[in-house]
């Protein structure tokens, strides 16, 4: 195979993994590694410190480098660096989901103009092969839906909340101690990380550009130990789900929010930091890809897989044509208010006779049928805990019903509203 030279931008978790995996590789040579701090102690045996530079532009301008591997994350300076690298005819391997979601269109167009490719298997679901299978084995399919667990931190938190019936805050603290959650966990727990990933994954799978700014995104911070318990009793697990679906009207419905997933759905069994992507298409039906969604070595597996793919095609006039994206078709994205869902509503109500009737009456007036109602005994304030699962109804109707319920005298408060997977 053609020997190739790579330049690595970033030597954090993923970068360290890449160096370890390529240590004994004779055909892929790491020419240069850009780091923030040259003197920092690294967890790599026999690292040749001559490879290190604090100037990443040394890599993107280096004529000896064939492939730039970017693993610093964030939009700047990554965006500028990759544009320079592409203009210098270098192929790109990146794990940067935020950059792809926000600036993918410009990057992919620039890559097409310069006849280089951008591969990013590591950016979505870490070690799980998902982009390449969609672009190759499933290339004959029309993909209609993706439902995925794309964030390990939140899945870990939800799993622990469910297993131990403890609060979100307690588990977050533990996850931070264990290194599964960052000191500032906002990007994970508010769903932004999942949104970046589903934006790019949906763009690839549905073959039209999904705008990150139009993705309705909710995190897991409002999920309570009670929600977990009630969901469990009703035969569900709560997961942070990234969805992308073509509607009957050919709109594109992309969103990230917690969902009650039925125990019979395999996504309900995906626990801890594991990620999973359920792909639905014609003719294949439903296929599941699951595995480690983050971490030094799994992510390095995907980065190195991409480097090898480029290496195999580097002599071609048109390298990896199927991996080139264009963003010409802009998805017509459905607003969350126009979606239809089943819902879980957790309500604290006055413990007076007829309160369930009141809830049913208000919902009914907003065209919402109730599939099941659970009364969960009397709380200290002489109020009752009531859990409702609705039939499929309009998001706008449920929002109106919730407003009316909140204003009703017999309702103390709405504790939570969570969408339910069919």
| Closer residue to a copy of itself (CB): 1 or 374 | 1
Question: Between 93 and 195, whose beta carbon lies closer to a copy of itself?
Answer: 93
Binder to a copy of itself among 10, 202, 292, 383 (CB under 8 A)?
A: 292
User: Rounded to whole angstroms, what are the CA distances from 32 to 1, 46, 378?
Assistant: 21, 15, 65
**Residues 347 and 230: beta-carbon distance below 8 Å:** no
Categorise residue 385: left if φ over 0, alpha if ψ from -120 to 50, beta otherwise.
Answer: beta
- 31 part of the active site: no
Cα–Cα distance for residue pair 46/41, rounded to 1 Å: 12
Q: How far is the CB of 53 from a copy of itself (least distance, A)?
A: 25
Using the minimum distance from each CB to a copy of itself, give the nearer residue, 38 or 266: 266
Smallest distance, Å, CB 79 to a copy of itself? Answer: 25
Query: Of the listed pieces 106-114, 134-142, 342-350, 354-362, which binds a copy of itself according to CB under 8 A?
Result: 134-142
From the list 76, 37, 35, the residue with the least C-alpha distance to 59 is: 35
> What phi and psi, each to the nearest 5 degrees, are found at residue 57?
-70, -20
Site for a copy of itself in 262-281 (CB under 8 A): 266, 269, 281
**How far is 289 from 307, CA to CA, in rounded Å?**
21
Q: What angle do CA 147, 324, 287 make, to 5 degrees?
A: 25
In the bound state with a copy of itself, the residue whose beta carbon lies nearer, of 14 and 223, is: 14
Nearer to a copy of itself, 20 or 394 (CB): 20
Taking CB under 8 A as the rule, does residue 163 contact a copy of itself? no
Using alpha carbons, list the distances in angstroms from residue 243 to 96, 202, 246, 338, 375. Answer: 20, 9, 10, 15, 31
Touching a copy of itself, residues 347-366 (CB under 8 A): none
Nearer to a copy of itself, 282 or 379 (CB): 282
Give the per-residue contact string, 211-250, with a copy of itself (x = CB under 8 A; - = no): ----------------------------------------
Q: Does residue number 290 form part of the binding site for a copy of itself (CB under 8 A)?
A: yes
Number of residues lying near a copy of itself (CB under 8 A) = 46
Does 293 sit near a copy of itself (CB under 8 A)?
A: no
> Is 15 one of the binding residues for a copy of itself (CB under 8 A)?
no
The size of the chain, in residues, is 422
Interface positions, 299-328, toward a copy of itself (CB under 8 A): 300-302, 304-309, 312, 316, 321-322
Min separation Cβ 17 and a copy of itself, Å: 6
Q: Report the residue from 13, 21, 166, 225 that binds a copy of itself according to the rule CB under 8 A.
A: 21
Query: Between residues 77 and 129, which has the closer beta carbon with respect to a copy of itself?
Result: 129
Least separation in angstroms between CB 322 and a copy of itself: 6
Measured from the CB of residue 149, what is the shortest distance to a copy of itself in angstroms?
13
Per-residue tokens: 282: 């014609």
Minimum CB distance to a copy of itself, residue 283 (Å):
4
- Candidates 97, 145, 197, 237; catalytic one: 197
Residue 352 CB, nearest approach to a copy of itself (Å):
43
CB proximity list for 269: less than 8 A, separation 6 or greater: none
The residues facing 7 across adjacent strands are 32, 68
Q: How far is the CB of 130 from a copy of itself (least distance, A)?
A: 8
Nearest to 263 by CA among 282, 238, 292, 280: 238
Q: Which of the ranges 128-136, 157-165, 254-262, 406-414 carries the binding residues for a copy of itself, by CB under 8 A?
A: 128-136
Q: Which is nearer to a copy of itself, 316 or 381 (CB)?
A: 316
Supply the residues annotated as catalytic: 197
**Interface contacts to a copy of itself, rule CB under 8 A:** 17, 20-21, 121, 127-129, 131-133, 136-141, 266, 269, 281-292, 295, 297-298, 300-302, 304-309, 312, 316, 321-322
């Amino acid at each position: 195979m053609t020997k190739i030279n790579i330049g690595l931008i970033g030597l954090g978790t993923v970068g360290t993994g890449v160096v370890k995996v390529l240590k004994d590789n004779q055909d892929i040579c790491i020419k240069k590694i850009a780091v923030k701090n040259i003197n920092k102690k690294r967890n790599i045996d026999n690292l040749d410190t001559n490879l290190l530079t604090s100037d990443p532009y040394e890599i993107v301008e280096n004529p000896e480098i064939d492939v730039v591997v970017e693993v610093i994350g964030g939009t700047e300076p990554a965006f500028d660096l990759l544009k320079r690298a592409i203009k210098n005819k270098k192929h790109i391997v990146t794990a940067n989901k935020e950059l792809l979601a926000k600036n993918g269109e410009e990057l992919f167009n620039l890559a097409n103009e310069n006849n280089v490719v951008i591969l990013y298997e590591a950016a979505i679901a870490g070690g799980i092969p998902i982009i390449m299978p969609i672009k190759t084995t499933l290339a004959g399919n029309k993909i209609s839906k993706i439902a995925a667990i794309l964030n390990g931190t939140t899945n870990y938190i939800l799993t622990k909340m469910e297993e131990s019936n403890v609060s979100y805050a307690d588990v977050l603290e533990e996850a931070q101690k264990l290194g599964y959650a960052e000191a500032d966990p906002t990007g994970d727990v508010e769903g932004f990380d999942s949104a970046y990933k589903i934006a790019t994954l949906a763009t690839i799978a549905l073959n039209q550009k999904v705008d990150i700014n139009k993705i309705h995104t909710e995190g897991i911070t409002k999920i309570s130990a009670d929600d977990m318990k009630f969901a469990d009793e009703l035969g569900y697990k709560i997961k942070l789900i990234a969805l992308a679906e073509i509607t009957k009207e050919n709109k594109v419905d992309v969103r990230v929010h917690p969902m009650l997933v039925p125990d019979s759905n395999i996504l309900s069994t995906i626990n801890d930091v594991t990620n999973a992507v359920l792909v639905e298409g014609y003719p294949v039906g439903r296929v599941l890809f699951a595995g480690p969604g983050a971490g030094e070595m799994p992510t390095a597996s995907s980065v190195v897989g991409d480097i090898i793919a480029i290496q195999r095609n580097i002599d071609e006039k048109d390298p990896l044509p199927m991996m080139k994206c264009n963003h010409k078709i802009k998805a017509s994205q459905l607003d969350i208010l126009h979606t239809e869902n089943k819902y879980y509503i957790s309500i604290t109500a006055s413990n007076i006779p007829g309160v369930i009737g009141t809830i049913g009456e208000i919902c009914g007036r907003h065209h919402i049928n109730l599939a099941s109602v659970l009364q969960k005994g009397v709380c200290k304030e002489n109020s009752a805990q009531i859990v409702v699962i609705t039939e499929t109804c309009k998001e706008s109707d449920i929002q109106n019903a919730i407003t009316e319920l909140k204003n009703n005298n017999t309702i103390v408060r709405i504790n939570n509203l969570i969408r339910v997977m069919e």
